[in-house]
Amino acid sequence: MTEITSLRPVAAVLVSAVAIVPILASRGRPNVREGWTVLTAVTKLGIVASMVPGVLDGQVYVTELGTFVPGVEFALRADPLGLLFGLLASLLWLVTSFYSIGYMRGLDEHGQTRYFAAFAGSLSAAVGVAFASNLLVLFVFYELLTVATYPLVAHDETAEARAAGRKYLAYTFGGGVAVLAGSILVFWLTGTTAFAPGGIADLAGADPLFARAAFALLIVGFGVKAALMPMHSWLPDAMVAPTPVSGLLHAVAVVKSGVFGVARVVLEVFGPDRAAELGLGLPLAAVAAFTLVAASVIALRQDNLKRRLAFSTVSQLSYIVLGLAIGIVAAPGRATTFALIGGLLHIPAHAFMKLTLFFCAGALHVETHTDDISNMAGIGRRMPLTMTAFAVASLGMAGIPLVAGFVSKYYLLIGTVSAGEVVFTAALLVSGVLNIAYFWPVVYTAFFESPGESDPKPVVENVLGGRFGESGTVTDGGREPGDRDADDAVDPDDSVEDDSVDPDDATDDSADDPAGDEAGDAAEDPYDADEYVEDDHGYAEDHEGQGLKDRVEAAAQLDDDHGHADDLAWEHRGWDGSESTWFMLAPILFAAAGSVVLGIVPDAAVFLRIVRLVVTGVTGVSV
């Protein structure tokens, strides 16, 4: 690798940070504010993309900014691994910027200027994480990313949002402390924290006990944002945030900074060979395998779509960590290259697929105010393009051929088989089946059912394995159908009138009263129904920020606002994009198309070329 002094790495970091000022100054002028957002996103992507040809030719772009602490330089370095994350983050930020415009305007969200400013700061920190040249610089941007994303997590300013924000800070700042401690220990052992392909050479002679301690601290610290169990619970709770933020958290910046940090530690701090000598691969692989299977099982229990996607993210991130861990277990050997390629390629593959899924969930919320899978029967008629994109991304998440997930998971399977680690091969296969189990009901419900004829889905809401003394296994959370009203009865202490509407009753009675009683009751006593305050999952019914009055009006105008006909069947929309604004549809289709491109022609996609370059630099084996 040839190092070239350049201002491009620091420019890529600073451009969105500088843009915070004009974004804030444009408060009250949304067109100007969003123009700054898009212009900044295009500029950032252009700067990062301009370094791709040079990096593929063996060049590394370096910006030196002086001494950080004695013996540690504050420098930014665009090497192949950093470019993988930096290019992904800058590309998908541009896509998410357009989507955010449609989403935030569609819901008439409050605090939009703050939202776009925090979004810009988050991506500045994310690219700083990507181009950090050593552990301490990485730690600085890792913590800045936490600070910048907190206003996004707590955006709704509800009690649930504030609680989720506090939990997010507690977990991620705790992880940051572990990263700092591990970085200091590495510096004490080697006299440097600079990244080097294949690992820091002086770690080979370091005391094994302290080396293992440093590895454990770093993996725990980065594992918080990588959502490794048991450090994952902040992630599902953060779903109270607006859906574009969920996409940012799950696909682009936050969780990817976690797995990226794990990759830096495995590949360029310890190196697969030294990590294998210390016996660090199997424990890491075991944690990753447990997480990817357990999170998939938990996802089956979620009826709220965003929470199901959240646990899916917890599972999918561990595919990346498992690939890195198997790379240690198999080192040195050919199996290492396959496992590392699979793990690293799953970073962009998962990003495109999961961003598609969250974009689709957001579009459903904006256009139909539908968040729960049990309420989505026939919604594919109302949102055909959106649900088709959702189906495509779901296939990829399950590892079906012709979508991005197949390619990365194929490499992972080849790596585990070649390494002789059949237990982890089995874990990958079981998780793939579970992926189908929790995504297929969504697709089936949307396209092959109608509200009046839908059947209960096997969503397990009761204790796994059932309860002693149950009369039989039922699909509605362990309750017999006749017990539903009793369970859902309003507490006498609640200030709800006797004629208030139970959302479940509105669906159950639709066959007897095609016009539905929900809109009529809401019109008679619109602001006296606590059902509009919280749904079954503890979220505000419209936690994206819509007011109570708006929610009641939406309930009273199902036909006009949500696309329901009088018989509660979804209004049919064509394939011409009339289902939503193109500010949201275009990003959905772009992300879905990216998933397909990565699945059909992975060699033509620059991400696979970068991944191969990373693995060749670490292992010395040309792939």
Beta bridge partners of 72: 69
Residues 337, 339, 342: CA angle, nearest 5 degrees: 105
3-state SS, 38-50, equals HHHHHHHHHHHHH
Question: Model confidence over 173-187: pLDDT tens digits?
Answer: 999 999 999 999 999
Q: The whole model's pTM is what? A: 0.82
Sign of CA dihedral 264, 270, 271, 276: negative
Domain boundaries, the chain: 271-465+572-623, 508-567
> CA–CA separation, 560 vs 516, rounded Å?
15
520 pLDDT exceeds 80?
no
Task: Specify the pLDDT at position 66.
Answer: 86
pLDDT higher at 518 or 368: 368
29 pLDDT exceeds 60?
yes
Q: Which of 280, 83, 259, 272 is nearest to 175 (CA)?
A: 259
pLDDT tier at 455, thresholds 50, 70, 90: low
> CA–CA separation, 218 vs 343, rounded Å?
18
Please give the mean pLDDT across all residues of the chain.
82
Task: Specify the pLDDT at position 568.
Answer: 58
> CA–CA separation, 510 vs 567, rounded Å?
7
> CA–CA separation, 265 vs 215, rounded Å?
8
Question: Model confidence over 80-105: pLDDT tens digits?
Answer: 999 999 999 999 999 999 999 988 88
Decide if 225 contacts 235 (C-beta within 8 A).
no
pLDDT tier at 452, thresholds 50, 70, 90: low
- The rounded percent of the chain whose pLDDT value lies above 70 is 81
Could you tell me the CA-to-CA distances from 434 to 77, 145, 296 in Å, in that order?
39, 32, 6
pLDDT tier at 139, thresholds 50, 70, 90: very high
